Amino acid sequence: MKQEKYRIEIQGLKLGSYSYDFSLADNFFQLFPGSLVQRAALTLHIELEKRAHIIELNLGFAGWVELECDRSLELFEEPISLNQKLLYKFGEEPGEVDEQLTILAWNEQHIELAQAVYDLIILSLPMKKLHPKFRETPDVISDDEEVIQIYTTLTDEEAEALQKDAENTIDPRWAALLSLKKSEDQE
């Protein structure tokens, strides 16, 4: 897996601020087999601040990724706009401390960004991937109202017809009780 394109050389960098720009397209996501994303057009702007024992990266993503709708299996473009901070600290035991802090060996020559960038993009995607035509947002919601959103492929006329049928149909479990009630009312 060739990732030289998605790394930042830190060996020899003097203390101070640096800027980097990367373009993340289809070929970036092909580095990760089984990726949710196959097509994309993202730009990644990185502001690097190197200090004596720590490197701070501020990453800014903008663009879109192509996703498959969970409901209709149609492909659609999901916009991505994300800002994230990553910290790299020099220490004796290299490894990832948490999602934002990674320990680098003192003699480390570069920072590999591919996996961290991929993880940030994938984690920013919505859990439920719905095509924009299935998304409905209420105009105004008060704190007292409970909103239940129902996603459907039915037209408004079909939905109204189904609703009327459901209102006119009596559940067979209640039909016997209704006949008892009617017989009592007649007596």
Instruction: Examine the domain organization and report whether 123 and 159 are in the same domain.
Output: no
Instruction: Examine the domain organization and report whether 51 and 63 are in the same domain.
Output: yes
Q: What is the pTM of this model?
A: 0.66
Instruction: Examine the domain organization and report whether 127 and 92 are in the same domain.
Output: yes
Instruction: Read off the tokens for 116.
Output: 């961290």
Say what the pLDDT of residue 148 is.
59
Instruction: Examine the domain organization and report whether 55 and 75 are in the same domain.
Output: yes
The number of domains in the chain is 2
Q: From CA 150, how far away is CA 77, in angstroms rounded?
A: 22
Instruction: Examine the domain organization and report whether 98 and 9 are in the same domain.
Output: yes
Closest CA to 114 of 5, 9, 33: 5
Instruction: Examine the domain organization and report whether 138 and 127 are in the same domain.
Output: no
Instruction: Read off the tokens for 92.
Output: 């004796």
Instruction: Examine the domain organization and report whether 8 and 36 are in the same domain.
Output: yes
Q: pLDDT tens track of the chain, all 187 residues?
A: 333 588 888 888 899 999 999 999 988 988 898 888 889 999 999 999 998 888 999 999 999 999 998 888 889 999 999 999 999 888 888 888 887 888 888 888 888 888 889 999 999 998 888 888 887 754 444 555 565 556 566 777 887 887 877 777 777 777 777 778 888 877 7
Instruction: Examine the domain organization and report whether 42 and 67 are in the same domain.
Output: yes
Query: What is the domain range of residue 110?
Result: 4-131
